[in-house]
Amino acid sequence: MTPIKAGARSARRGSGGITLQHVSRLAGVSAITVSRALNNPDLVSPETREKVRAAVEQTGYVPNLLAGGLASNRSRLVAALVPTIAGPVFLETIEALTEALAARGYQLMLGQSGYGESREDALIDAIVGRRPDGVVLTGIMRSPEGRRRLIASGIPVVETWDLTPTPVDMLVGFSHGQVGEVAARFLVDKGYRRPAVVTGDDDRANQRRRGFENAFAARGIAGVPVFTVPAPTTLGSGRSALRALLQAHSRLDVLCCSSDVLAHGAIVEAQAQGLRVPQDIAVMGFGDLAFARDAHPAITTVRIDGTGIGRIAAGFIADRAEGRPVDESLVDVGFSLVERGSA
């Protein structure tokens, strides 16, 4: 192998960087052979692969993925939108999505959309213009304009963490309304009759809140007090919500929270006020976050298979990007109620 010349670094600044041609000259092979060694290594001999690998290592060459994407009409990038990177409930899905896509040769770009449609629409515009191989949304695309643009783009789309009979393209999720109904029936069957709800102000949390109210009403418990806090929810908002509710409704016997974080805050506040959980007031969360089983008492909650959502969504995107059919494009992963000490 020919050693790289001492003046290569200064030339590199003026020419815009080490190129495929630099690597090919150093390795003593053609540029197309270098390309094959990097993109389809099985097509070249082990000796050639080693020459190219050594040349890449010596030069610090990084392949231009955009140029390759233009040639193949594929970017190998998938964009995912989450409402917030501060909320831990989506982390399991993002981790599984990242790992499953990487195993298929794709990289994940993450965008924070917030909880409003206007910001989500702006991100959709920016993403579609960059032509990723797929888009993964947290929740349902409710903006008509955003929905129209996604459909018109032809890019594979997977909506997650929600359920609708009319997805943009593909969907992996569950019914938040059913979560609320099942949780409320569980609490009524446990003997609780004076519930209150603490909920974030986002759409999915409000679906669960309506599920709670419907199930309680069906069991003859109407007029359930509801305290709404800004999303993303925090431990502090759980504490302040319980304080406010107890001032107005001192005889509450159970608190239904739209997140484990709120439930943890409510437990802390109850204990600070000298109340026993669950003897004086029971608390239920949502999400089964890592700390839920280690809280004192451990939090009764609803478990969502975030890992399964991420893996299925990644498979949908990769299959569609590679021209394979997706036979079942709408998957309801369901949920499970996890009974612990707090209720």
Condensed to tens digits (0 to 9), the pLDDT of residues 84-131 reads 776 688 999 999 999 999 999 999 998 887 666 567 778 888 888 778
**Residue 130 dihedral angles phi and psi, to the nearest 5°:** -95, 0
The pLDDT of residue 120 is 75
CATH code that applies to domain 8-63:
1.10.260.40
The structure tokens listed for 234 are 């925090």
Give the strand pairing for 301-303 and 336-338.
Answer: antiparallel
Determine the pLDDT at residue 9. Answer: 36
CATH, domain 75-174+307-333, list 3.40.50.2300, 3.30.70.1060, 1.10.240.10, 3.30.720.210? 3.40.50.2300
Q: What is the pLDDT of residue 152?
A: 85
Residues of the chain with pLDDT under 70: 1-17, 62-74, 86-87, 114-118
CATH 1.10.260.40 domain locations along the chain? 8-63
CB 209 within 8 A of CB 258: yes
d(CA 166, CA 146) in angstroms, rounded, equals: 15
The pLDDT assigned to 116 comes to: 61
**DSSP code of residue 199:** E
Residues of the chain with CATH 3.40.50.2300: 75-174+307-333, 176-303
The pLDDT value given to residue 4: 43
Please tell me the CATH code under which domain 176-303 is placed: 3.40.50.2300
